[in-house]
Structure 1
Amino acid sequence: MAIAIAVTRERREGETRCAATPETVKKLLALGASVTVESGTGAGSSISDADYEAAGAKVTSDLAAVLAGADVLLKVRGPTASETSALKSGTVVVGMLDAYRDKATVDALKGQGASAFAMEFVPRITRAQVMDVLSSQANLAGYRAVIEAAHTYGRGFPMMMTAAGTVAAAKVFVMGAGVAGLQAIATARRLGAVVTATDVRPAAKEQVESLGAKFVAVEDEEFKAAETAGGYAKQMSAEYQAKQAELTASHIVKQDVVITTALIPGRAAPVLVTAAHVASMKAGSVIVDLAVEAGGNVEGSKPDQIATTANGVKIVGWNNMAGRIAADASALYARNLVAFVGLMVKDGVLAIDLEDEILKAAMVTHQGQVVHEGLGG
């Protein structure tokens, strides 16, 4: 009997993406699965029900029927309580579960006996690159952050010489040179801005400079060892943070646009831009906080708002920046999911290898237990 894969409409506020596209429906069918899509699933990404049907999926508005028969449920965000309660025991749930912060969803999946996988836990190893949702979504978020900044800034980014005089290029400072930051640098450069960037990881310097931006950081001995084996930034000492803050303060006062991208898995986002930094910037400057959902890199940033400070600085705090370019974000995310699901299907049958390093790293709940070591059982 074919594996029954269900894709339901996203019910979390502000989520425009979807977990399958017509392209990936065809790929799932090729694995030997059947695919049922809830009506309206693709609306935020300009995908119609007819598009899914043309790809071979069954489309229905009967959510209970979709979930009750599902062997696998594909989601962008974690399922809501009403969705989880409709699943049969043993259903495989795959999505970005926000497992460190959303304990309620993890507990509900555990209680329902689901085998749940958090795509944000997929390890950053060569074999898993095609499943790396953090990178695929951060890439688009970095691009969109610059577009949002340019829109909010109200001035041009490139230097323009006209008969009426010269318009100076915007000065853009990107804080954090991971996937999102590097794409922000590249996009700001394409728009003609003068770009500087900072990061605590030594490897970032060469990457930043290769994109035509100037690297700004305190390059001491601690800096040289500031990267984990997984490629993430380490938590820096208070002494280093103080030195970096002093450098940042002297640099940020000259900037027109600041984009912050720093995230530490399992922890609140580090504060990079203080109220004092913001107060030092000139009126009309723009800050985009890409970490606002994790507490924010910027003092004064507010989720899903553009906050204007007393000195006229605008702080953009849109949640789900990738979702503001939903069609592309859905396309990439859905491909990540197909690759991941492919690990669990053998000869058209669902076969989860608990010793597979990717599946093992991403599994959150199984057989009524929380099994991810970082979540404390």
Structure 2
Amino acid sequence: MKIGAAKEVFAGEARVAMTPESAAQIRKLGHECLIETGAGAKAGFTDDAYRAAGVTVVDDIYAAADVVVKVRGPEEEEVAKLREGQTLISFFWPAQNAELLEAVKARGATVVAMDMVPRISRAQKMDALSSMANIAGYRAVIEAGNNFPRFFTGQVTAAGKVPPAKVLIVGAGVAGLAAIGTSTSLGAITYAFDVRPEVAEQIESMGAEFVYLDFEEAQTDGAATGGYAAPSSPEFRDAQLKKFRELAPEMDIVITTALIPGRPAPVLWTRDMVEAMKPGSVIVDLAAERGGNCELTVPDEKIVTDGGVTIVGYTDFPSRMATQSSTLYSNNIRHMLSDLTPGKDGVINHDMDDDVIRTATATHEGEITFPPPPLKIQAIAAQKPREKVKEPTAEEKRATEVLRFRQQTKTQVGLLVAATVLLLVVGAVAPASFMAHFVVFVLACFIGFQVIWAVSHSLHTPLMAVTNAVSGIIILGSLVQIGAGGFLVVLLSFVAILIASINIVGGFLVTRRMLAMFQKS
């Protein structure tokens, strides 16, 4: 079939739904690829680049293609070009566009909404929302840095000391995690909040500090909402806003990413919080297109308040990185087409029994199929919230140390008793010459092991501790034997001391070189 990428007509949209690279992969499915003239120009892909990849450049994609792929949902003039039996794959937001659904239904076209792809493991490769959110989270930090008058990381220079920036990320979905990763990489002290406690471990593993609320409803299970946060109760919202008011005067940068599917963005950063922030602070609102998480956000604009706080409300963060966004989005489209073409023979099979295809389909065969039925499998596995580790008190630490000392003492006394009994038993039957060597062996084992093993493992690896313990036993035994015996005993003792010493010295030299690799020059 003919798969065609349309040129975006939405003002300021620079992305394209097909790149030359993704077109080559789509052709392997047996399809013919088309693209509208100039569709990839703003994303850095020329018509000649598409021709070189075997793509046909046409002026009217809707008349030429069987399947039209694009980024933004169709405008009215684009819906009018759709024909019966044609398939449109794009972002669509059917919950917010009932009239558009009716218009497409009337045209008899099929719509596959990329924003409706379920968040299950099999569909991750088609999850365009996550792809674009990842870019938006990264770009949000870059925009914040562009408007922030200081460094992100702290510095100590001859000209003075620069404190690190403090960044708060509200919402730890895909965009939030991307923002956390970028912020910590730039050296800022990063805090993050989310109503789902199961993400706390992810946040902390990325070097940020999770902001906890002392409120039971914070134990929200994200599994029931497909990985998204669910609406909160008024009591939880009050506790949330109270916490944000405490943090507002301390934060230099706030990035909000909180969205609830099918609802306006919740207002989480109010006017009084903005007024409490320091002059020069920056707020980047990634939810601006849905009304904004900040009360003062103006969609598609950057404003500066009377208090000197910059509020960025851009709604086109992915489009500001059009080349990268187009590459990822076109791969999502390619994987969707792969599922729609199971035979890899160029024939589309719109299987409404397939969980992913059924959930993403908004209209099909002249009928509106939105909303989809519940998934047969849960979107994400439910996770138990991580329990907070209680810090032991001074009395508990002291009791633990006493117990450890007693256990060590019992072990050492036990070894001494066992060695004494062994010496008495063996001494009753063994000759005197054997006993002299045996006593040395027992003492070397006991003293050598205790001396070397007592060195803290923080100074060398456990494996090195064992080898050094063995080497210590050899050296102590050889030192005793080197002065008692013939030439052969002296020679063997000398060789044993030499080899064991090389092992110990070499081990510490290797460790020193390993540690030097982690030291800053």
TM-score (norm 1): 0.96
Matched AA of 1:37: I
**Which residue number corresponds to residue 207 of structure 1?**
202
Report 1 or 2 for greater relative contact order, CA contacts < 8 Å, sequence distance ≥ 6: 1
Selected match of 1:353 from 351, 354, 368: 351
- Aligned counterpart for 2:104 among listed residues 98, 101, 109: 109
Moved more, 100-109 or 345-354: 100-109
Matched AA of 1:156 = F
Partner residue of 2:370 out of 366, 369, 372: 372
In the TM superposition, what are the counterparts of 1:167-206 in structure 2 within 5 Å?
A: 167-206=162-201
In 2, the alpha carbon distance for the partners of 1:267 and 1:134 equals: 16
- The corresponding residue for 1:13 is 11
CA offsets 1:245-279 (integer angstroms, 9 cap, x no match) = 10111012210000000011110011110011101
Deviations 1:321-347 (A, max 9, x none): 111111111100000000001111132
What pairs with 1:301-316 in structure 2 (closer than 5 Å)? 301-316=297-312
Quote the offset at 1:144 in angstroms: 0.2
Report the alpha carbon displacement of residue 374 of structure 1 after superposing the two structures with TM: 6.4
In the alignment, the residues of structure 2 paired with residue 170 and residue 323 of structure 1 have an alpha-carbon distance, to the nearest angstrom, of: 27
Q: In structure 1, which of residues 90, 104, 118 is the aligned counterpart of residue 113 of structure 2?
A: 118
The corresponding residue for 1:291 is: 287
Q: Give the whole-Å Cα distance in 1 for the aligned partners of 2:320 and 2:362.
A: 28
Alignment of 1:60-209 (within 5 A): 60=58, 62-63=59-60, 66-209=61-204
Question: Counterpart of 2:321 in structure 1: which amino acid?
Answer: I
1:47 corresponds in structure 2 to 45
Give yes or no for contact 1:363–1:372 (8 Å, CA) kept in 2. Answer: yes
- Please give the secondary structure, in 2, of the residue aligned with 1:307: strand
SS at match of 1:100: helix
Contact 1:117 1:365 (C-alpha < 8 Å) held by counterparts: yes
- In terms of fraction of residues, the more strand-rich structure is 1
Per-residue CA deviation, residues 24-77 of structure 1 (Å, 9 max, x unaligned), is 1111111111111001111121110111111110012x22xx212321010101
2:234 alignment partner in structure 1: 238
Aligned residues: 370
Q: In the TM superposition, what is the alpha-carbon distance from 1:219 to its structure 2 partner?
A: 4.2
Task: Report the 3-state secondary structure (helix = DSSP H, G, I; strand = E; otherwise coil) of the residue aligned with 1:111.
Answer: helix
The CA RMSD measured in Å over matched residues stands at 1.3
- If you compute each CA radius of gyration, which structure gives the higher value, 1 or 2? 2
Q: Which of the two has greater helix per residue?
A: 2
1:263 aligned counterpart, secondary structure: coil
Aligned equivalent of 1:33, options 25, 31, 34: 31
- Residue 253 of structure 1 aligns to a residue whose secondary structure is helix
Kept in 2, the 8 Å contact 1:173–1:252? The answer is no
Percent identity of paired positions between Structure 1 and Structure 2: 44
The answer (yes or no) to whether the contact 1:354–1:360 under 8 Å persists in 2 is: yes
Once the two structures are overlaid, the 10-residue window that deviates more, 183-192 or 80-89, is 80-89
Alpha-carbon separation, structure 2, partners of 1:143 and 1:333: 16
The whole-number CA distance in structure 2 between the counterparts of 1:16 and 1:218 is: 40
Distance in 2 separating the partners of 1:33 and 1:300: 48
TM-score, structure 2 normalization? 0.70
**Contact 1:228–1:234 (CA under 8 A) maintained in structure 2:** no
Report SS of the residue matched to 2:96: coil
The code of the aligned residue for 2:86 comes to: T
Contact 2:15/2:43 (8 A) holds in 1:
yes
